[in-house]
């Protein structure tokens, strides 16, 4: 039996059981090679709709489609052996009704083989989340700053500075947890609010621009690696700065090609000897 065959994949139940214990390590992944590189180090790989901005140059995630999410979900599943894999439901694929959400969630899971789906929304989505979870669809919740709502939220900004905002995010997290989400992303939320939410709900919280007190953390892998340099959010720590290395490699390649220095004999094929 191969090593990969012996490996036991983490599940949404595994992630839920990490509440209050070892921190949940989560990164986004959009391709098979990246999933293979991240898999051994992550508990959870998120095929985020952030791929619209990171890979496709979109200004927001709103234009991301079901077909895009499924294609990238399949790619990540080909590269993931140990991590739990969750695929984002794109804007417009679940807000109309709980029945629409169920149909699209099932399509994502059936066509990709992923472990569950993520959707954005608080109390207004609780009924939908309960509908999905009661029918066998694990749901990763998402409260606080919700990128799919950027057009009505006034842009990308931290939330929870006012009592009204803090209370709303807290109510949203409680509603999503009670609806059965196995874990909840808290994004772009001031630290004391994220900390208090984490202490008050039974589901693990996964922070991004939130608090170290969250039960886990998630970052966009291209942000963390310094590959997506269109902008750098305050909450991102770059563990590598690969964009300059890519540019330097491309510059050196171009110079050698133009100078006739590449390819050399070692990079070409000699005729077979008869």
Question: Residues 92-119: what's their mean pLDDT?
Answer: 98
| Each residue's pLDDT tens digit, 170-214 | 999 999 999 999 999 999 999 999 999 999 999 999 999 999 999
User: Cα 64–68–74 angle (5° rounding)?
Assistant: 145
Q: Which residue has the tokens 């099932």?
A: 106
* Burial profile 188-221: b = 16 or more Cβ within 10 angstroms, e = fewer: bbbbebbbbbbeebebbbbbbbbbeebbbbbbbb
Question: Residues 74-81: what's their mean pLDDT?
Answer: 98
**Percent of the chain clearing pLDDT 70 (strictly above):** 95
β-strands 183-187, 205-208: how paired?
A: parallel
Q: Which helix (H) or strand (E) holds 139?
A: strand 139-144
The number of residues in the chain equals 274
**Residue 244 and residue 233: Cα distance in Å, rounded?**
19
Catalytic residue among 22, 165, 167, 187: 187
**Residue 130 and residue 2: Cα distance in Å, rounded?**
39
Q: Is 165 a catalytic residue?
A: no
| Each residue's pLDDT tens digit, 143-160 | 999 999 876 666 668 899
Residue 120 assigned ligand-binding role: yes
**Residue 77 and residue 139: Cα distance in Å, rounded?**
18
Coil/strand/helix, residue 117? strand
Domains of the chain: 3-240 (3.20.20.60)
Residue 88 assigned ligand-binding role: yes
Question: Residues 6-26: what's their mean pLDDT?
Answer: 94
Tell me the helices (H) and strands (E) count for the chain, helix number first.
12, 8
* Torsion sign over Cα 132, 171, 202, 153: positive
- Whether the pLDDT of residue 136 is over 70: the answer is yes
- For all residues of the chain together, what is the average pLDDT? 94
Angle between helices 126-133 and 98-112 (to 10 degrees): 50
Residue 49 assigned ligand-binding role: yes
Residue 118 assigned ligand-binding role: yes
């Amino acid at each position: 039996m191969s090593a990969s065959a012996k490996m036991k994949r983490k599940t949404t139940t595994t992630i839920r059981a990490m509440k209050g214990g070892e921190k949940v390590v989560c990164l986004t992944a959009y391709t098979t090679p990246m999933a293979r590189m991240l898999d051994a180090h992550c508990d959870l790989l998120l095929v985020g709709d952030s791929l619209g901005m990171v890979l496709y140059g979109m200004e927001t995630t709103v234009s991301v489609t079901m077909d895009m999410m499924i294609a990238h979900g399949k790619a990540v599943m080909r590269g993931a052996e140990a991590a739990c894999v969750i695929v984002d439901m794109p804007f417009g694929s679940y807000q109309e009704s709980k029945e629409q959400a169920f149909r699209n969630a099932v399509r994502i899971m059936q066509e990709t083989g992923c472990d569950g789906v993520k959707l954005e929304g608080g109390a207004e989505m609780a009924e939908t989340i309960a509908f999905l979870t009661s029918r066998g669809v694990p749901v990763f919740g998402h409260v606080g700053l919700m990128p799919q709502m950027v057009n009505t939220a006034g842009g990308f900004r931290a939330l929870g500075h006012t009592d009204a905002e803090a209370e709303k995010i807290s109510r949203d997290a409680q509603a999503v947890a009670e609806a059965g989400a196995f874990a909840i992303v808290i994004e772009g939320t001031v630290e004391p609010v994220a900390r208090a939410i984490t202490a008050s709900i039974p589901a693990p919280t996964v922070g991004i621009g939130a608090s170290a007190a969250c039960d886990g953390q998630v970052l966009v892998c291209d942000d963390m690696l310094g590959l997506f340099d269109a902008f750098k959010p305050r909450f991102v720590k770059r563990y590598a700065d690969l964009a300059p290395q890519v540019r330097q490699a491309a510059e050196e390649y171009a110079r050698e090609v133009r100078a006739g220095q590449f390819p050399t004999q070692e990079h070409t094929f000699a005729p077979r000897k008869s």
